[in-house]
Amino acid sequence: MSTTRSTAAGKVLKVLSTFDREHQTQTLSEIAQRTDLPMSTAHRVVMELAGWGAIERGDDGSWHVGLRLWEIASGCPQTQILRDVALPFMQDLYEGTHENIQLAVREGTELVFVERIAGHRSVELLTMVGSRFPIGSTGMGRVLLAHAPRHIQDAVLDAPLRSWTPHTVTDPKTLRGQLVRIRREQVFVSDRQLSESTVAVAAAVRIGRTGPVTAALGIVIAAGNASRARGLREPALRAAFAISDELGRRAKTTG
């Protein structure tokens, strides 16, 4: 964290930004350390946030994100309509597969998961609602990258790419060819790119059947069931088309 002085709002944002997937709960001293704020300042900011409901204190004395902050974030206009439209089709897709069904959007060069349905028999995932990953790391991310503006593609492919597993494709030339195939075939099977235990089938969600890509829909299965992936391409694509059609219909009625 930066040690430069900041405004009161900046200190609040510093504290909130310390909470992420790897740091879902933190002690006051950990928050102070990660923000480079004096302990007294960190304590004051934490107490103000707690008083408002943005963060809450657990029984063990550590702090975590509060319900009030979740309520505000859940009303994000960018994802609220998308989630409302997509969820019934995601439920249908889950009933037909009994696998993890996920929905994600792109923010810059990152992938943000905004909805998920999973059963007790579904394979355990590294991802969760609200988590972020580099856009090139997952099958859903590569679908979004394939339809992203050229400067976003160049920014991702010109930078070093993390190898999450021995199977992760990191060669920029190979990835560019992969993006071309994704645009042509409209559905993508990601084989153990993020985790050695999972395979994903992903398709683009548009605003209308031929409109701009706004999200990616994915089915994630255990790598041991990888032979099922080809048979899941069509269900994933049908569900993505259905969501796209409904988003297009709503856009016309509100436009």
Distance of alpha carbon 217 from alpha carbon 215, whole angstroms? 7
Check if the beta carbon of residue 143 is closer than 8 Å to that of residue 190.
no
What CATH number has the domain bearing residue 68?
Answer: 1.10.10.10
Q: What is the mean pLDDT of residues 146-174?
A: 92
> Could you tell me the residue range of the domain that residue 19 belongs to?
8-72
Q: Tell me what pLDDT residue 118 has.
A: 82
For 120-188, the three-class secondary structure string (H helix, E strand, C coil) is CCCCCCCCCCCCEEECCCCHHHHHHHHCCCHHHHHHHHCCCCCCCCCCCCCCHHHHHHHHHHHHHHCEE
Q: pLDDT tens, 200-255?
A: 999 999 999 889 999 999 999 988 888 888 899 999 999 999 999 999 988 877 65
Residues 228 and 164 in one domain: yes
Please give the tally of structural domains in the chain. Answer: 2
Q: What is the mean pLDDT of residues 176-198?
A: 91
pLDDT category at 77 given cuts 50, 70, 90 is low
Residues 136 and 168 in one domain: yes
The yes-or-no verdict on residue 150 having pLDDT over 90 is: yes
For residue 108, give the 3-state DSSP assignment: coil
pLDDT category at 125 given cuts 50, 70, 90 is low
Residues 109 and 159 in one domain: yes
pTM of the model as a whole: 0.72
